[in-house]
Structure 1
Amino acid sequence: MENRPFIDKGMQWLVLVYVLAFGVLMLMTNHGDFVLWLNDRHTSFGDFFFQYWTYLGDGVLLAIVALYFLFTNLHKFYYMLIAIALQTVFVHIFKQWLFDGEPRPKTFFADQVDRLNFVEGVNTRGFDSFPSGHTASAFTLAFVLISICKNKTLNVLIFIAAVLVGISRVYILQHFLRDIYIGSVFGILAALIAWYIMKPYADRPKLQNGLLFRKPSKS
């Protein structure tokens, strides 16, 4: 992490635009409007793409990246582990306690279910909608990687990939706009807090090694 900020200024502006744009959209529309608007724009390609792209937020990719860091760099591993733990706590508190049983689109639009376009092969759930855990996971992973990566173009692509995971959750009728919006905020906050927790330990030599790979010692 050295003396670098959590994310560079370019990414800060991109995140600000995202937060403001989706926040304004959420405030200016009724609950469910974005779901219906996006649902009316289903295509064969969209059905195929979003059905599989959504898996990037199911936690498996988080575990794979965490294991990679465990073997290569313990500092990044602990950073990732703390971020995952925070994101999990944030989502669990809201989904299982504060908003337990919150209806998902299939239940919310039960009286209009005949007009909805479902993606074949996707098992749509009926409750525990808020917030989106997949989106939170995707943004947690994205911002851990963005804070580590120095390639600006790659960071923008990582961010777009995370946004598309959120949109996929609405497209396949698993969540509402507010679910993915707050899920993304939780993911960013989890990575940010974890980054600050681990920042003081960034220069510790032992943490720059992994279980399998070690940096050569300076003579």
Structure 2
Amino acid sequence: MKYWSQSVKAFVGIFILYEVGGWLFVSTYERLDQLQLINGNHSQLADLLFQALTATAEVVLPILLLLYLIRFQKAYALSYVYSYALSTGLIQGLKHLVFTDALRPLAYFAASGVKWHLVAGLPIHEYNSMPSGHTGAAFFMFFWVAVLLRRWFWGLFAGLLAVGVAYSRVYLFQHFPVDTLVGAAIGVGSSALFYSIHYAKSSSK
């Protein structure tokens, strides 16, 4: 970690706090209580904010960041692609090969009788809940944003944006908190691996 910039260290610090706090949360509350605490506290402003945050982890922004790297920071481009491929491959493999029966909240609580807050016009998925692909993509992508921006406060900001995406997935009733915790770990782990390999190769030269 001696080659890690202050911004990356700040980002990883936010990730660790998120994981510790998140696992304490899921071990303290039952799933029903978790979703009622998060999804139950809603507003029109929060609906817009969390839809916008969740959209940052969809394919357009990661591809735009790749194009930026190819044009301006070519040294990082391959590491970025490898970490994206590893993160996506692990998440999709877990979704479709390991946790094939993992229901998302809408299907899981179908018989609960609870009236959940669903954003009008937003498609709500029912299957392949574990792990959260959007969260994995957010933590992967914002890790590399922290790499590029270098200052510790930008790493902090990037980390908070990634946490916001994770929270949005639960708020929007697409995932359970545990799904986002696993997705975040995969996204950061994949990026940290190839970031470290990049600097190990650079130092050996």
TM-score normalised to structure 2 length: 0.91
Equivalent residue pairs, number? 204
Structure 2 residue matching 1:188: 3-state secondary structure: helix
Q: Which amino acid aligns with 1:68?
A: Y
Which residue pairs with 1:214 in the alignment?
none
How far is 1:113 from its partner? 5.4
The change in CA–CA distance for 1:92 and 1:174 in structure 2 (over 3 A counts) is same
Q: Runs of 5+ in structure 2 lacking a partner?
A: none
Structure 1 position 67 matched with structure 2 position 67: yes
Give aligned-pair identity as a percent.
24
| Structure-1 separation of matches of 2:135 and 2:42 | 20
- Compute the displacement of 1:27 (Å): 1.4
Shift of 1:11: 4.4
The answer to whether the aligner puts 1:190 opposite 2:190 as a matched pair is yes
C-alpha distance in structure 2 between counterparts of 1:117 and 1:48, whole Å: 13
2:79 aligns with 79
Shift of 1:79: 1.5
Shift in Å at residue 60 of structure 1?
A: 1.7
* Residues 112, 172 of structure 1: alpha-carbon distance in 2 compared, 3 angstrom cutoff: same
Classify 1:42/1:73 alpha carbon distance in 2 versus 1 (closer, same or farther; 3 Å): same
Q: Which amino acid aligns with 1:151?
A: R
Larger Rg: 1
What whole-Å deviation, never above 9, does each CA across 1:10-54 have from its counterpart, x for those lacking one? 445433322211111111122342212112111111111112221
Q: Structure 1 unaligned runs (5+)?
A: 206-219
SS in 1 for 2:56: helix
Q: TM-score, normalised by structure 1?
A: 0.85
Structure 1 residue 155: Cα displacement? 1.2
